[in-house]
Every structure is written in C-alpha cells, then in structure tokens.
Amino acid sequence: MSLTTFLILIIIGLLAGLFSGMFGIGGGVVMVPLMVFLLSYTQHQAQGTSLAVLAVPVTFLAAYTYHKTGEDPLNWKYAIIIAVTFVIGGFLGTKVALNINENILKKMFSVLLILVAVKMFFSK
C-alpha cells in the first residue's frame, strides 16, 4: 500500500466518522462515493468495503455521546429493532446488488442520493 493510498484511507475514515457524528451518515453517503472517486473502486468494491467497516460497532461511541447528553436524543429500543432488521436487509440487499450490472447499480445509487437530497432540502 502506498503512502498516498494510506492517507486517502485515513481521510475517508475521518470524513465518514465526522459526518456520522454530525449527521448520522457515513457508509453509503460518504465512504462509497469517496472510494469510487479517490481509490477507483468499482461500485461493488466500495459497497462491500463500506459494509465491512460497519461490521464492527464503529459508531457506538458516537451514539453513546448523544445518549450522554441527558436529553435522550436517541431511542435505544428503536435502534436495536432497526439494527436487527438491518442485518436481514443487508444480507438480502447484497444478494440483489451482486446480481446487478455495475453501471446500473452506480446509477441507481446516484438517483437514490439525489432523491434523498431533494426531499430533505425541500422538507420543513
């Protein structure tokens, strides 16, 4: 691994962590596009790597920091239900994604990001 690649990986991790803590995002929205553009990963490689990063509880400390505020900005019961079903959805989604052409998958991913961005931008 070159020094440049190592530095890019550090930048991707820091940005994903920063945005995860600030906005609750990281994997798909930050890491996947950066790996595609900065590391020339295929869409499948970037998505798989993003999932591998999230396989360990990398954001627990960030979630716990929100919990410590005392204002209870997160609902642990809901988070556990989502986490359990995320495992099932992640497994099924991976099966589907691996059977979709790389270019089509990239376009689908882009449309999803645009739709979410437009919806959030124009919501109250």
Rg over alpha carbons for the chain, rounded to the nearest Å, is 16
* Mean pLDDT across the chain: 85
The number of distinct structural domains making up the chain is 1
Does residue 55 sit in helix, strand or coil? Answer: coil
Q: Say how far apart CA 121 and CA 115 lie, in whole Å.
A: 10
- Domain span at residue 18 reads 3-122
pLDDT of the residue at 83: 78
Note the pLDDT tens digit of each residue in 32-60: 899 899 999 998 998 888 888 877 677 77
Global pTM reads: 0.69
State the pLDDT confidence band at 17, using cuts at 50, 70 and 90.
confident
pLDDT of the residue at 38: 92
Lowest-confidence pick of 1-5, 57-61, 90-94, 115-119: 57-61
Note the pLDDT tens digit of each residue in 63-75: 888 788 877 677 7
**What type of residue sits at position 62?**
A
pLDDT of the residue at 100: 92
Half-sphere CA count of 58, side-chain side, radius 13 A: 18
In this predicted structure, the answer to whether residue 27 has a pLDDT above a threshold of 90 is no
Would you state the structure tokens that stand for residue 46, as one six-digit string?
A: 């970037």
